[in-house]
Structure 1
Amino acid sequence: MASSGTYTCQPTANAQSAYQRLVITRACPSGFFMSNGSSQCFKFFPRTVNWDDARTRCHAEGLQIAMPANDVVAVALRKDLLDTYGKYGDWSNAWLGARGGDPEAGRGGQMVVVTQQGARTNATISPESPLWYIGQPGTVTTTSCLRLSVSLTTTLSTPGRTYDSYRCSYAWDAAPLCEVPLLFNYNDLIVNPGELVQLDCGIIGNYTHCVWEKGTNNIK
């Protein structure tokens, strides 16, 4: 299957969709960017707010607070933000879509993904993840939120350690990083004859952005 370009697909009978046709593209709309190793479309608002206000800002734009799909994207995002917005200005870090879990739900002390990302939603970020900055995440409580550290100092000294746990209410050191939400799933779509593809798709206005994973079974 081609890794880029535009495809027009017909959903199969068991695909849950109100659409008769779906245009899939790996390009992002104007004002968005895609990091290396990612099919996510991100948008950054370089003005510091607390975590709740960052999430609200994303929702107001029809987006959701961003969460890197994997470790490669998390590292690439830091470089992209630093390269684009520079090392000075009214921000130095970005809020991400995870926060301390609810002890009453058995998630106490865990950093839990709250961004809607299919199977990754409600997943926990291991305290042993190599993405944590030195000494992080420390003690995680319900007042702890995930931050992407984008300061020049940490980028140079620890290029692969991008995450830290930060108090959600602090409004002076992190800005909203948003992404196109994955609003619905297509379980079976034919992209090329005989290929089974799972798609997670999101919409901004008339724009449809999809992330696809090639399946192992063929459609006959």
Structure 2
Amino acid sequence: MLKPKNKEINTDIVLIDIINFSKLKSAQQLEIVSFITQSYRRMIEKMLHDSNMPLSRLILGYISTGDGFYCLLNPRLKGFGTILGLSFNHFSDQIAKKYPYFEGVKIAVHTGIVHEFKDILGNTNFIGDGLNDCARYLEVKHFTISTVMISDSAYEYLKKFLHHHQDYNKLLVQREFKHSNVHTFHDKHGNEKKGCLVWLRKSGIINPPDINFNSLI
């Protein structure tokens, strides 16, 4: 029996979850998933074009959840996950104007460990505690629309990112970046989690930085 290679990766994980997806009719589910997928793909393509960056330098992988998806960032962009989540959130507000039955999305960001493996079709896929932990942050009762829930680890890497990229720090100040007090809660397994809600009073799409990919943040 072949022993899988243990490729451990510590990176930002952004989870998109469509609110009340299971309550929609099947035709509506297909319509909204298709439209969101196409819209976010076009958004990513524009961000990459504007930053003159290939996809592999921004996104490590996507994992569909049925009613949303995980987006795993290139680990060299740890800290940018929160900003990407805020960009996703801005775009979901535009989508809500087109489909009246669309109630929006919940977005969580966590920095954690994932493991890469090849699935049955030979495609690259990911598992790991980082994905599970990220999902737990969607359980917060104080979650509100137009905010992004980020874990304490994601917040720490956001601060490191902004320290290294002062232009992004200034941009978030201009966009009136805000965050809540720390929320402490216990997930469905009884584990204590800490995180905060973040939002932009002046929302919009923020492109990734042009960084030196030969060095880590």
TM-score of the aligned structures, taking structure 2 as reference length: 0.24
TM-score of the aligned structures, taking structure 1 as reference length: 0.24
For the pair shown, the structure with the greater C-alpha radius of gyration is 1
Higher helix share: 2
